[in-house]
Amino acid sequence: MNWTKRNFAGRTIGHSLTRLRRRSAVVATYLGYLAMVSVWYLASAYQSVGLFILVSLLGLLMLSGLGVLVTSWVWNAANAPDPNLDERQRRVRDRAYLHSYQAFAGSVTAMGFYAAIAWDNGWWLPATWNQVQAVMWGVLLLALTLPAAIVAWTEPDLADEL
Amino acid sequence: MRKKKEATDTLNNAPMTIHNRLPVLRVERGLSRQDLADAVGVNYQTIGYLERGDYSPSLELAFRLSDYFGLPIEAIFSQEPLKPLSEELYHAAAS
């Protein structure tokens, strides 16, 4: 399977997607989401139009990073079924899922412990439906994109070496 | 006892580097990485990884490469750095 020719816009984008750009997309996706949720929380508290505009911009940043992950060869590298991959590609995919599970399980465990301690100590916990949604969508984003993000972060640059 | 310890030490050590002659064999036959990849059923990037020693092939892939080049596996892959083919042929002819 030649990922470098696979894309949704009819353009060959594989070679142009350097590791720096891929890592930037990962940072934009996750930090963008965190920043968007945080600023939205502030915007709701202060009813500031400027902050709501900033929320929109951060949302666009997140979506642009997510778009790179989902539409590039990275998504197939992390999610394609066995028949579409050779033995090395399957190893890359399986390793991405292993690391994703370790990170995800660790995060969920940490959140569970935090919730238990926070409940006893009166620390912050999601109290409104909007706050619950923010956490829920964050967990969903992580669950669905973490393998692709790991591949995007770790794979070396595709070389022009046909 | 000593051989068993050496085997255990080998097992406990980091994964070994597999040296190969794929670049030489490919160039000798005028093949691109894509040609070789198509012949053995892998992605051309995997051929690149194999040649650089960044990936060790499975036994099945090693056999496919062996069949394709018409050479035994030990002539293509080795745990020790491979001598240049010209040097090996010269010494073989001399002896």
Mapped to the 3 state alphabet, what secondary structure does B26-57 carry? HHHCCCCHHHHHHHHCCCHHHHHHHHHCCCCC
| CA angle in degrees (0–180, nearest 5) for A79-A82-A88 | 85
Q: What pLDDT does A159 receive?
A: 62
Q: How far apart are CA A155 and CA B84, in angstroms?
A: 31
Chain A residues closer than 8 Å to B45 by CB? 88, 158, 161
Each residue's pLDDT expressed in tens, for chain A with a length of 162 residues: 444 444 333 334 455 688 999 999 999 999 999 999 999 888 888 888 888 899 999 999 999 999 999 998 899 889 999 999 999 999 999 999 999 999 999 999 999 999 999 999 999 899 889 889 999 999 999 999 999 999 999 988 866 554
The closest CB to that of A161, out of B33, B42, B58, belongs to B33
Chain A residues closer than 8 Å to B33 by CB? 161-162
What residue has token string 């040649």? B51
What residue has token string 């090996």? B88
Which string of DSSP letters, residue by residue, matches A68-129? HHHHSHHHHHHH--GGGS-HHHHHHHHHHHHHHHHHHHHHHHHHHHHHHHHHHHT-----SH
Q: What pLDDT does A9 receive?
A: 39
The predicted model scores a pTM of 0.78
Contact flag B44-A86 (C-beta cutoff 8 Å):
no
CB pairs under 8 A between A and B: 32
Instruction: Return the SS3 of A144.
Output: helix
Strand partners, B20: B77
Give the gap in angstroms from C-alpha B32 to the nearest C-alpha of chain A. 6
Q: How far apart are CA A85 and CA A94, in angstroms?
A: 11
Chain A residues closer than 8 Å to B34 by CB? 162
Poorest-pLDDT segment among A119-128, B16-25, B86-95? B86-95
Q: Average pLDDT, stretch B68-90?
A: 87
* Spatial CA neighbour of A155 closest among B41, B22, B45, B44: B45
Q: How far apart are CA A56 and CA A39, in angstroms?
A: 10
Q: How far apart are CA A146 and CA A137, in angstroms?
A: 14
Give the best residue of B45, B47, B52, B59 to mutate against chain A (max A CB count within 10 A): B45
Q: What pLDDT does A16 receive?
A: 64
Residue B2 pLDDT > 90, yes or no?
no
Q: How far apart are CA A53 and CA A44, in angstroms?
A: 12
